[in-house]
Every structure is written in C-alpha cells, then in structure tokens.
Amino acid sequence: EMHGVPVIYLSQLNERLSALAGRFYHQPSEQLRLVGVTGTNGKTTTTQLLAQWAQLLGETSAVMGTVGNGLLEKVIPTENTTGSAVDVQHVLSGLVGQGATFAAMEVSSHGLVQHRVAALQFAASVFTNLSRDHLDYHGDMEHYEAAKWLLYSTHHCGQAIVNADDEVGRRWLAKLPDAVAVSMEDHINPNCRGRWLKATAVSYHDSGATIQFASSWGNGEIESRLMGAFNVSNLLLAFARRLMLTLRHHAAVGISPPQC
C-alpha cells in the first residue's frame, strides 16, 4: 500500500499491459472486426484500402496508424505508427464507442517487440513486404524479420494473408499452411486445396490500372485509380481479405467460379 492506495507488483509488466488494458476497456478488439497490417512498406495504403472497402460494403470503418487514428474522415494525427499498449486499447475502445464495426491497424515491428498489441484479437493479419529499415533498433535484417514474425507466431493473428512476391513472405507461407497467398508476379502454384489470389494481367494507364485476377474464389477484373505496381500489390492484399468475407463481395467486383 502506498499513500492509502493498494499497490500490486508484477514482474515484466510491459508484457502484461496489453491484456490488463484490454480488461479495463472491456476487450474492444473483440467488439469489432480488427485487421492488422505489418511490413516495411504499404501499411498505410493497405489499411486505407481495407477500411474504405469495408465502408463501401456497409461497415463503419476506422484506421489506426501512421496518418492517425479514428473513423474514416475523422482521423486524428498521432506520433507513433503503433501507440503504447494502453493507448491502443484506449483508442479501440473509443472507436467501438463511436460505432465502429471494422478497424484496419498498422502494426509496427517496435509495437510487436514491445508487446503493444499482445492481447489484441485480430480477425486477420496482412504481411506486405520486408526491406531494410529500422536497423538502428533491430540491429540486422534477421532480427527485423523475427520482430515482424511475432505477429503470426505469438499473437492472435486470425487469418494470415501474405505477399508471396516477397522473399520473406514466401518463407512464411511455408510455415503458415492456412494462409492466403497473394501474388502479382506468378509466385503461386494454384490448387483447389489452398486459398490464393494472383494478378493474371495488369494494364497501366493514365487513370490507374486494370487488373485481371484469378483466385481460389473465382476470376474477375478490378479497375483501380491507384498508380504503380506497388499499389497493385497493396490492393490485391486488401482484396484478398474482402474475398474471404461473406460481405456481398459481388457488389465490389464480378467474379466467375474457379475452374478446378
């Protein structure tokens, strides 16, 4: 007891803060559909695509990350990509209170190593890519990759969605048999047992890109106003999540059954 206030001492408190804060805020990650996105590049774009697509199909969507936290069109700037363990639960609780039913969250390597999202219940987790970054913190690429892998190895990651065009992603897919593999460079060997999505043809033009795709759900075409191959990759990762849901995906794109 200190100054009349009971004090409980816990070892390794930083590893427990996410769970403690989750209980205090009534487990907000379980009250909406939460998708985490990790990787060196593409997190912000992919979270925006996920949230905007969900909003178009009737969800009340929110984002958390580099640009800020909040409902779409009401994002409040933040200092860190992934806030502290307590801040993350606090923000999620606030989003639930505002009626959010879906949230897309950028998950940084710092946040994973420091247990900031340890107790979150992700419905799905997306891996975009891995390239040289944050080596001042992690020391080398091996430790950087290990930090990102924590999302799938020690967290409740939900459905894994992995970029098969990335070398690290291909290694991870070998360890994640139930993951959805996504490619725009034909790094997938389609079969009727696994789940996959790949671009079969991409045409770039002044207003964006036309993407023809094949998948374990069927085949179709997407018109995108985003420029560049990297945004085609981001869009396919977000679209893979959309295909997994029963949320009227036919409203977003026409799909013909796969030929199996």
Greatest Cα pair distance, the chain, in angstroms, is 71
What's residue 110's pLDDT?
A: 93
Strands of 208-215's sheet, edge to edge? 69-71, 61-64, 102-106, 33-38, 124-127, 159-163, 180-183, 195-205, 208-215, 219-224, 255-256
Which tens digit of pLDDT belongs to each residue from 176-232? 999 999 999 877 765 545 799 999 999 999 999 999 999 998 899 999 999 999 999
Which stretches of the chain score pLDDT less than 70? 1, 134, 189-193, 246-260
DSSP 250: G
Cβ proximity of 188 and 180 under 8 Å: no
Write the DSSP symbol of residue 75: P
pLDDT of residue 136: 74
Q: Say what the pLDDT of residue 249 is.
A: 45
pLDDT of residue 255: 53
Q: For residue 186, what pLDDT is reported?
A: 79
Q: pTM for this one?
A: 0.90
Domains of the chain, earliest start first: 13-186 (3.40.1190.10)
Query: What pLDDT is recorded for position 11?
Result: 85
Dihedral, CA of residue 86, residue 154, residue 26 and residue 62, to nearest 10: 70
User: Which residue, among 117, 27, 141, 121, has the nearest Cα to 65 in the 3D structure?
Assistant: 117
pLDDT at 190: 58
* CA-wise closest residue to 208 among 184, 181, 235, 243: 235
Ordered alpha helix ranges (H), 13-156: 13-24, 43-56, 85-97, 109-113, 135-138, 141-153
> pLDDT at position 143, please?
93
Burial of 74 (0-12, 13-18, 19+ CB in 10 A): exposed
pLDDT reported for residue 202:
95
